């Protein structure tokens, strides 16, 4: 084994988007008590840890990713006592709790920013990033993720402040040691409270190119340029993360995973496998960015299976002694099945299982995003009135303002709007899917009467039960986390196949990504088929000697040769 054993490599994480998981008080919004009430479900799934989306005080311009108090709970979600009860009940059930750490920016309603914007000589002023205007306009040409410009004018000081996200999310100035101290103390406070780790929001964007030069890429529809080369992995971000690790968690058995955008494998290794380990794992977006163009995610770029395999393989091969968080989707992405599989028709649920089978056997720690285990898909949004996300709404407004084609706008929103992943968890076929007795803050996916937890529980062949088996298998087989990955048939346009090898044991994983039956000569180098470990079709047999035949969207795990 190239890597040390750790609990966080050997369990599956489940991502909860608190606002959409379970409402307990009828206000139409999920809350902490709702999660407490559903712990049985998590136990039944068999997961070992949750990633709890942001629950701190927030004006919710970006659904909790705009924090106004890091040490208090958003009223809509409950109280600190609820958080503590959730922690205790999860721990009693052997489930760890990883919290979301959002420290690239705060809310503009955070007391630090409210003081900072008042006067240049306020001690908090330097907590954020300020620049004078240039020719009566923004200091540079940077576009933000969510709004036209990454700058907002502040009258009281006659300056602009930088916000890579919405204008209610000013970026913190990480070069200020006082900011770093505040963050480390806050993190320690959460660990003392019993958090088992941090998912670190856009953690590789903390530093920006000194001098904040204009970005060189292509102008977007508003005439700004997205500055990816000036915001990601910029020195001294590694130094700061090493400092963070040293000050907060180097000596603790916790888990940290960094959400890292615009990162290549070399940087990934530096974050997770350097001499002074900064993070335990990173999320790479290489396979996620595949279907977007340089101008950004809204501009669809078609893809083919060999490219998906190549992107995932590169990370498998090059992360070295580091570690990956594995995911098909999260709260920012379309539903996995709509993006990588087939969202309707007879093979929908089979395909959902196949995607799970492929992901869970890669080397890394799998993250299941809520609803993925039900085979949820994107939403047929009837109008922009149903959308809730600042990113979707700003995009729609920009499209309309600049006269972009409606069909371009709708194609983009249906494909990529983050709202697709944020519809409420459908628990049963009753009104609002059992999510709330009130009016849900965002519409449910209209397929909830068929696609819901109660229905899935009753069907032994559901995606839900298949995910339970996958999750349980990981507890029995060190192969899943630790086996060495090797891609088979890189150019095959239809089949994703790879082997995992650990000691004397070898598994062959093969999945058909098409709606036709595919037959291939058995790849001799993987050894002879010895045992069918798992398949997403219940009548599957061990393949006959010499050939492999996979039905539409069929996926198999086959042990080959001798068992260790």
Smallest CA-to-CA distance from 60 within 164, 169, 171, 151 is with: 169
Q: Could you tell me the smallest distance in angstroms from the CB atom of residue 153 to ligand TEU?
A: 21
Other C-beta atoms lying within 10 Å of the C-beta of residue 158:
10
Given 201, 332, 447, 494, the catalytic residue: 201
- Clarify whether 259 is annotated catalytic: yes
Which of 202, 282, 443, 456: binder of ligand TEU (CB under 6 A)? 202
Q: Could you tell me the smallest distance in angstroms from the CB atom of residue 261 to ligand TEU?
A: 5
Per-residue x/- marks for ligand TEU, 361-390, CB under 6 A? ------------------------------
Q: How far is CA 522 from CA 128, 453, 530, 550, 558, in A?
A: 59, 38, 13, 12, 12
Q: Could you tell me the smallest distance in angstroms from the CB atom of residue 268 to ligand TEU?
A: 16
Plot region of 503 (φ>0 → left; ψ -120 to 50 → alpha; else → beta) = left
Q: How far is CA 69 from CA 55, 112, 180, 225, in A?
A: 10, 10, 16, 32
Which of 31, 159, 201, 372: binder of ligand TEU (CB under 6 A)? 201
Q: Interaction with ligand TEU in 89-118: which residues (CB under 6 A)?
A: 102
Q: Could you tell me the smallest distance in angstroms from the CB atom of residue 245 to ligand TEU?
A: 21
Other C-beta atoms lying within 10 Å of the C-beta of residue 424:
28
CB-CB contact of 384 with 393 (8 Å): yes
338 lies in the binding site for ligand TEU (CB under 6 A) = no
Q: Could you tell me the smallest distance in angstroms from the CB atom of residue 545 to ligand TEU?
A: 47
Q: What is the three-state SS of 489-505?
A: CCCCCCEEEEEEEECCE
CA 486 to chain centre: 25
Other C-beta atoms lying within 10 Å of the C-beta of residue 459:
11
Pick the closer one to ligand TEU by CB: 67 or 116: 67
Which of 23, 31, 61, 62: binder of ligand TEU (CB under 6 A)? 62
Per-residue x/- marks for ligand TEU, 132-151, CB under 6 A? -------------x------
418 lies in the binding site for ligand TEU (CB under 6 A) = yes
For residue 129, give both structure tokens: 């990033």
Alpha helices in 62-126 (DSSP H): 80-92, 111-116
Q: Interaction with ligand TEU in 462-521: which residues (CB under 6 A)?
A: none
Q: Report how far residue 31's alpha carbon sits from residue 28's, in angstroms, rounded to the nearest whole number.
A: 10
Pick the closer one to ligand TEU by CB: 65 or 77: 65
Q: Could you tell me the smallest distance in angstroms from the CB atom of residue 240 to ligand TEU?
A: 18
Return the ∠ at Cα 202 (arms to 197 and 205), rounded to 5°: 130
Q: Interaction with ligand TEU in 240-259: which residues (CB under 6 A)?
A: 259
Q: At how many degrees (to 10) do helices 237-244 and 177-192 cross?
A: 40
Pick the closer one to ligand TEU by CB: 288 or 495: 288
Pick the closer one to ligand TEU by CB: 391 or 494: 391
Q: Could you tell me the smallest distance in angstroms from the CB atom of residue 386 to ligand TEU?
A: 18
Pick the closer one to ligand TEU by CB: 233 or 499: 233
Which of 13, 17, 21, 65: binder of ligand TEU (CB under 6 A)? 65
CB-CB contact of 16 with 83 (8 Å): no
Given 159, 259, 291, 373, the catalytic residue: 259
Q: Could you tell me the smallest distance in angstroms from the CB atom of residue 308 to ligand TEU?
A: 19
**DSSP 3-state assignment of 399?**
helix
Size of the site for ligand TEU (CB under 6 A): 14
Which secondary-structure segment (H or E) carries 265? helix 265-273
Pick the closer one to ligand TEU by CB: 336 or 357: 336
Q: Could you tell me the smallest distance in angstroms from the CB atom of residue 200 to ligand TEU?
A: 10
Q: Report how far residue 441's alpha carbon sits from residue 122's, in angstroms, rounded to the nearest whole number.
A: 38
Number of alpha helices (DSSP H) and beta strands (DSSP E) in the chain: 18, 22
CB-CB contact of 426 with 444 (8 Å): yes
For residue 207, give both structure tokens: 């530093």
Pick the closer one to ligand TEU by CB: 354 or 390: 390
CA 353 to chain centre: 19
List Cβ neighbours of 235 (8 Å cut-off, separation of 6 or more): 207
Which of 267, 278, 391, 554: binder of ligand TEU (CB under 6 A)? 391
Q: Interaction with ligand TEU in 278-307: which residues (CB under 6 A)?
A: 297
165 lies in the binding site for ligand TEU (CB under 6 A) = yes
Q: Report how far residue 82's alpha carbon sits from residue 31's, in angstroms, rounded to the nearest whole number.
A: 9
Alpha-carbon torsion (148, 152, 153, 158), positive or negative? negative
For residue 93, give both structure tokens: 């059930």
Q: How far is CA 115 from CA 48, 183, 288, 309, in A?
A: 41, 17, 38, 49
Pick the closer one to ligand TEU by CB: 377 or 557: 377
Pick the closer one to ligand TEU by CB: 74 or 480: 74
Q: Could you tell me the smallest distance in angstroms from the CB atom of residue 292 to ligand TEU?
A: 9
Q: Report how far residue 407's alpha carbon sits from residue 177's, in angstroms, rounded to the nearest whole number.
A: 48
Pick the closer one to ligand TEU by CB: 202 or 473: 202
Which of 267, 291, 332, 494: binder of ligand TEU (CB under 6 A)? 332
The residues that are catalytic are 201, 259
Residues that bind ligand TEU (CB under 6 A): 62, 65, 102, 145, 165, 201-202, 259, 261, 297, 331-332, 391, 418
């Amino acid at each position: 084994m190239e890597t040390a054993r750790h609990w966080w490599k050997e369990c599956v994480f489940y991502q909860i988007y608190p606002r959409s998981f379970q409402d307990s008080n009828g206000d139409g919004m999920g809350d902490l008590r709702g999660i407490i009430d559903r712990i049985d479900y998590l136990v039944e799934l068999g997961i070992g840890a949750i990633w709890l989306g942001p629950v701190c005080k927030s004006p919710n311009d970006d659904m909790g990713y705009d924090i106004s108090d890091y040490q208090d709970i958003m009223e809509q979600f409950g109280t600190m006592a609820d958080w503590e009860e959730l922690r205790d009940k999860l721990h009693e059930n052997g489930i760890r709790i990883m919290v979301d750490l959002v420290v690239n920016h705060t809310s503009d309603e955070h007391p630090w920013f409210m003081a900072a914007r008042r006067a240049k000589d306020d001690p908090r002023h330097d907590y954020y990033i300020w620049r004078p205007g240039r020719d009566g306009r923004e200091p540079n040409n940077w576009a933000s993720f969510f709004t036209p410009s990454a700058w907002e004018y502040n009258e009281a000081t006659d300056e602009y402040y930088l916000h890579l996200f919405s204008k209610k999310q000013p970026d913190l100035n990480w070069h200020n040691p006082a900011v770093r101290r505040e963050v480390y103390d806050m993190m320690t406070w959460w660990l003392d409270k019993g958090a088992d780790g941090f998912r670190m929001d856009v953690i590789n964007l903390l530093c920006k190119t000194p001098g904040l030069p204009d970005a060189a890429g292509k102008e977007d529809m508003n005439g700004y340029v997205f500055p990816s080369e000036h915001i990601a992995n910029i020195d001294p971000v590694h130094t700061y993360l090493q400092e963070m690790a040293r000050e907060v968690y180097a000596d603790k058995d916790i888990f940290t995973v960094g959400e890292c955008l615009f990162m290549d494998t070399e940087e990934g290794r530096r974050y997770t496998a350097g001499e002074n380990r900064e993070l335990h794992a990173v999320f790479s977006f290489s396979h996620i960015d595949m279907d977007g163009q340089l101008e950004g995610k809204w501009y669809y770029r078609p893809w083919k299976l060999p490219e998906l395999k190549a992107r995932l393989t590169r990370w498998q091969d090059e992360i070295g002694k580091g570690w990956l968080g594995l995911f098909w989707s999260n709260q920012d992405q379309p539903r996995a099945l709509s993006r990588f599989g087939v969202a309707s028709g007879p093979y929908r649920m089979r395909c959902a299982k196949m995607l799970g089978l492929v992901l869970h056997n890669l080397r890394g720690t799998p993250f299941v995003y809520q609803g993925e285990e039900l085979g949820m898909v994107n939403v047929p949004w009837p109008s922009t009135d149903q959308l809730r996300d600042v990113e979707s709404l700003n995009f729609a407004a920009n499209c309309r303002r600049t006269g972009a084609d409606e069909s371009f706008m709708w194609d983009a929103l249906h494909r990529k709007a983050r709202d697709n992943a944020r519809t409420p968890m459908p628990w049963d076929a009753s009104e609002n899917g059992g999510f709330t007795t009130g009016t849900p803050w965002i519409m449910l996916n209209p397929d909830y009467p068929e696609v819901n937890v109660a229905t899935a529980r009753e069907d032994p062949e559901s995606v839900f039960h298949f995910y339970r088996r996958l999750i349980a298998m990981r507890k029995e087989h060190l192969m899943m986390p630790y086996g060495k990955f090797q891609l088979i048939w890189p150019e095959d346009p239809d089949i994703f196949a790879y082997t995992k090898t650990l000691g004397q044991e070898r598994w062959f994983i093969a999945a058909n990504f098409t709606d036709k039956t595919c037959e291939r000569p058995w790849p001799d180098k993987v050894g002879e088929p010895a045992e069918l470990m798992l398949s997403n079709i219940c009548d599957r047999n061990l393949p006959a000697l010499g050939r492999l035949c996979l039905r539409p969207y069929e996926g198999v795990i086959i042990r080959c040769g001798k068992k260790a």
